[in-house]
Amino acid sequence: MYRHNKFGSLSRRSFLQASGSALAVTALLSSQTNAESVQTSPTAVPFSFESLVQNARQLASQTYTPPAQVGAPFTDLDYDDYRNIRFRERHALWAGPAARAVMHTYHPGWLFDSTVALFDVADGMAQPLRFSSDDFIYGDAALAKIPDGTELPGVAGFRINTPLNSEFQFDETLSFLGASYFRALGAGNRYGLSARGLAVNTAISEPEEFPRFSAFWLERPQPGQTQVTFYALLQSESVAGAYKFALTPGQTTVMDVSVELFFRSDVEQLGVAPLTSMYLFGANDQGGFDDYRPRVHDSEALIVNTDQETLYRVLNNPPQLANSYFAAQSPRSFGLVQRHRSFDDYLDAEARYELRPSLMVEPQGDWGDGTIRLIEIPSDLEGNDNIVAFWTYDRGFKAGDHTSFSYRMHWGSAPAGASSDLARVARTLAGAGGVAGVKPQTDRRKFVIDFEGAVFATLPARDTVSANINITNGTLAGHVLQRVDGHADMWRLVLEVTADGKPAVELRADLVNDERKLTETWTYQWLKE
């Protein structure tokens, strides 16, 4: 129910150069209840974020109408057809000699059976865009299903290409495709984890909703401008929202997001800045996979930065649905990270998991009382996104309510907040308890945590390092703390833990020198089968 299949992301991993431009005229969203109904008028009209907010407010007072389906021949496209459809590069929006960003679109069809409306905004005027099969290049099988000159009912989404890795080529930097999912890249990255516009009632007793962006307004960049600003309308059964995005590509790509939400009906749990990723197995959780690769994951840990500490929660592929909660009143930042950055860590020459970006969310302003929730879903395929993380209010919302919030997203190999000045968790290993060379003690679990950082190398030899260890629903059967020989900046903590019979054992540990905190706080959830 909560698992997202990533087959549709394969085309998003390609490199495209952009040149030329093509514009066409359709209609603008004004007071219609669905963005899909806008492509009827050829008139450009004034646009502002304030007008979009008012539109979302009005829509929230109306009954939600599901999006229209594209139907045949677009739904006749299969996976092979769809992956062999490419946007025609010379039709890229905004292309020109001084362009620093161009836009391509995604073809409707296959899994993407509803469309979004796109508008080009220049000088405060929004001009709707229309697309046809002439804007795409088709493989032979797809061409037989989509004849030349076919008018498209809309597009499935769009991508922004920028000179991300070189001044001389436009690399895909941002992609919106499917519901409210989107992805971005920092320099040198390949697509991995996703973000969503909103999560509504995820993994609770109430039915989950999947809000969708139904229309986008893309502000035409000025010549030479690197930042791209665009706006979106989000709708679901319970909520309508206006979004403003400002994208700044770079070594770490930054996205500023401002949100205004209006509620059609009651919402028990609102997930803010939701993140979605994949964790199949790693050194701490092999999961019985018979695989030549030592690790398979887009992200390996959740990080939560508060005013008091940095929490490092190692991810799992659990035997059953698992939930973790971290109290976080207006956190400084949180996100899903990929720390292991060597090819040898993964040994996958095609997927190149070491190049997947980390993503940190930095709240802007005071979010108030809330909780960061982590959901881990059992999975047997790396094509499934089985990790969900978001911040949620400590309260629900009623029909007629309004809320707003802003945040900054950092996408890249080493984004702000992904590490602290403290020694960090270098790796987590796990296995059967007991002493090597004798029969394992199956009633206990061994956890090995390596902390690494320059702070250890600067400690005087006489100074002592000790461990703070906290276990809930389990018992510490023993532990060892030692400096790793040959590594002046590394200490290893070994825990032997038994379960008390409760569903989940929660573990927490950090290292200190007297009252001085030396490390991040390692956290873990052990589900004993």
Please give the distance of CA 405 from its chain centroid, rounded to a whole number.
Answer: 18
With a cut of 50, say whether residue 29 has pLDDT above it. Answer: no
Is pLDDT larger for residue 79 or for residue 43? Answer: 79
What is the Cα–Cα distance from 523 to 284, expressed in whole angstroms?
13
Q: Once rounded to an integer, what is the mean pLDDT over residues 10-38?
A: 28
Is 458 in the same domain as 394? Answer: no
Q: Is residue 417 situated within a structural domain?
A: no
> Residues 246-259: what's their mean pLDDT?
98
* Residue 25 pLDDT greater than 60, yes or no: no
Asked if residue 439 and residue 402 are part of one domain, the reply reads no
For residue 40, name the pLDDT band (cuts at 50, 70, 90). Answer: very low
What pLDDT was estimated at residue 42?
A: 58
As a whole number, mean pLDDT of residues 336-348 equals 98
pLDDT digits (tens, 9 = 90+) for 58-78: 999 999 999 999 999 999 999
- Choose one of 362, 381, 412: the last residue of a domain: 412
Q: Are residues 116 and 261 in the same domain?
A: yes
504 pLDDT more than 70? yes
Same domain, 299 and 185: yes
CATH number assigned to the domain comprising residue 460? 2.60.40.10
* Residue 402 shares a structural domain with residue 429: no
Neighbours of 458 (CB within 10 A): 10
Do 255 and 401 reside in the same domain of the chain? Answer: yes
DSSP class per residue in 352-370: -GGGPPEEEEEEES---SE
89 occurs within a structural domain: yes
- Looking at the structure, tell me whether residues 234 and 304 fall in a common domain: yes
Overall domain count for the chain: 2
Residue 441 or 284, more confident: 284
Checking if the pLDDT of 18 tops 80, the result is no
Token digits of residue 240: 């309508």
Out of 7-11, 177-181, 348-352, 492-496, pick the least confident.
Answer: 7-11
Determine, yes or no, domain membership for 499: yes
Q: Is residue 487 part of a domain?
A: yes
Q: How would you class 292 by CB atoms within 10 Å of its CB: exposed for 0-12, middle for 13-18, buried for 19 or more?
A: exposed
Residue 161 scores a pLDDT above 80:
yes
pTM as predicted: 0.90
Whole-angstrom distance, CA of residue 9 vs CA of residue 193: 11
Q: What does the pLDDT read at residue 10?
A: 28
Which of 37-41, 68-72, 137-141, 298-302 has the weakest average pLDDT? 37-41
The pLDDT, as a whole number, for residue 456 is: 93
Task: Tell me which residue has tokens 């002493």.
Answer: 435
Provide the pLDDT confidence category of residue 310 given band limits of 50, 70 and 90: very high
Please report whether residue 419 resides in a domain.
no
Residue span of the structural domain in which 463 resides: 424-526
Q: Do 224 and 263 fall into the same domain?
A: yes
**395 and 440 inside one domain:** no
- Report if residue 328 sits inside a domain: yes
